Amino acid sequence: MNNENEEEFIEIRLTDIPKEFYSEATGKPFANCSVCEKHLLTAGTRYMVEKAVKRYPKYKHQDVIFEYAICEECQIQMHEKLSTESKQRMMEFMNQRVKPGARSNKFYHEERFELTDWIGNCAVTQQPLAELTEYQIMAPFDGNKMAYTVFPMMLSVQALDEMVELLSTKSLEVLNGFKDDITGMPPDLHELFKESRFVVM
Ligand SMILES: [Zn+2]
């Protein structure tokens, strides 16, 4: 994000962790980093949670294809391994397509702090969640609180496909390696996870 946009996000509002971001596996908030297992629910410990959902509207059923929490340290380590070009292209994509300043104005400055306002539509394509068969949600946390910044955010599979296209072969290899480091994935979903689009913010 450029400096102009960063100034928009100095304010951070913290709320209790919404159920949408609980671990599907435990029915509770994520307590540990899915990579290094560091404890997360202490104030001052920052991390992201990301969940990918596949919906089968015909059967009124949905699966969480993958979910993980990643602590700030592990996230920084992984980002360092991604290629500079990939990171640059992703940043441009976010600035041009998500428009963080406009997003912040729309929600933050109007004090709209209902989660559905933030994740009800794809942040890139604006498609409503109810019409999607596959999407990911992601948000930043601090201990047992969720932080409203430019996140929480929902990305449709169409947006994720565009983002994967921006990644270099090297970066895709890094992300695929990261998938193997994630613990606690249900074994029966392992194949779906392997094939899923995976973009760490
Ligand atoms: Zn970690």
Q: How far is the CA of 31 from the centre of ligand 1 (A)?
A: 11
Specify the pLDDT at position 184.
65
Q: How far apart are CA 9 and CA 183, in angstroms?
A: 32
Q: How far is the CA of 106 from the centre of ligand 1 (A)?
A: 32
For the chain, the average pLDDT equals: 86
Q: Report the percentage of the chain scoring pLDDT > 90.
A: 55
Give me the residue spans of the domains in the chain: 3-188
Question: φ and ψ at 52, to 5 degrees?
Answer: -115, 130
pLDDT band at 3 (very low <50, low <70, confident <90, very high): very low
pLDDT of 6 above 50? no
Residues 64 and 52 sit within 8 Å (Cβ to Cβ): yes
CA-nearest of 143, 174, 152, 179 to 35 is 179
Higher pLDDT, 197 or 166: 166
Q: How far is the CA of 135 from the centre of ligand 1 (A)?
A: 24
What is the value of pTM for the model shown?
0.86
Instruction: Report the relative pairing of strands 134-142 and 13-16 from DSSP bridges.
Output: unpaired
pLDDT band at 195 (very low <50, low <70, confident <90, very high): low
pLDDT of 191 above 80? no
* pLDDT tens sequence across 15-73: 999 999 999 989 999 999 999 999 999 999 999 999 999 999 888 899 898 899 999 99
Specify the pLDDT at position 106.
78
Q: How far is the CA of 59 from the centre of ligand 1 (A)?
A: 36
Asked which of 23-27, 96-100, 106-110, 127-131 is least confident by mean pLDDT, the reply is 106-110
Q: How far is the CA of 164 from the centre of ligand 1 (A)?
A: 23
Q: How far is the CA of 130 from the centre of ligand 1 (A)?
A: 33
Q: Which residues surround ligand 1, an ion (CB under 5 A)?
A: 33, 35-36, 38, 71, 74
Q: How far apart are CA 53 and CA 64, in angstroms?
A: 4
Please state the three-class secondary structure of the chain as a single string: CCHHHHHHHCCCEEEECCHHHCCCCCCCCCCECCCCCCECCCCCCEEEEEEEEEEEHHHCEEEEEEEEEEEHHHHHHHHHHCCHHHHHHHHHHHHHHHCHHHHHHHHCCCCCCCHHHHHCECCCCCCEHHHCCEEEEEEEEECCEEEECCCCEEEEHHHHHHHHHCCCHHHHHHHHHHHHHCCCCCHHHHHHHHHCCCCCC
pLDDT band at 186 (very low <50, low <70, confident <90, very high): low
Specify the pLDDT at position 185.
64
CA-nearest of 73, 30, 70 to 199 is 70
Higher pLDDT, 186 or 134: 134
| Residue 71 bridge partners (DSSP) | 47
Specify the pLDDT at position 173.
86
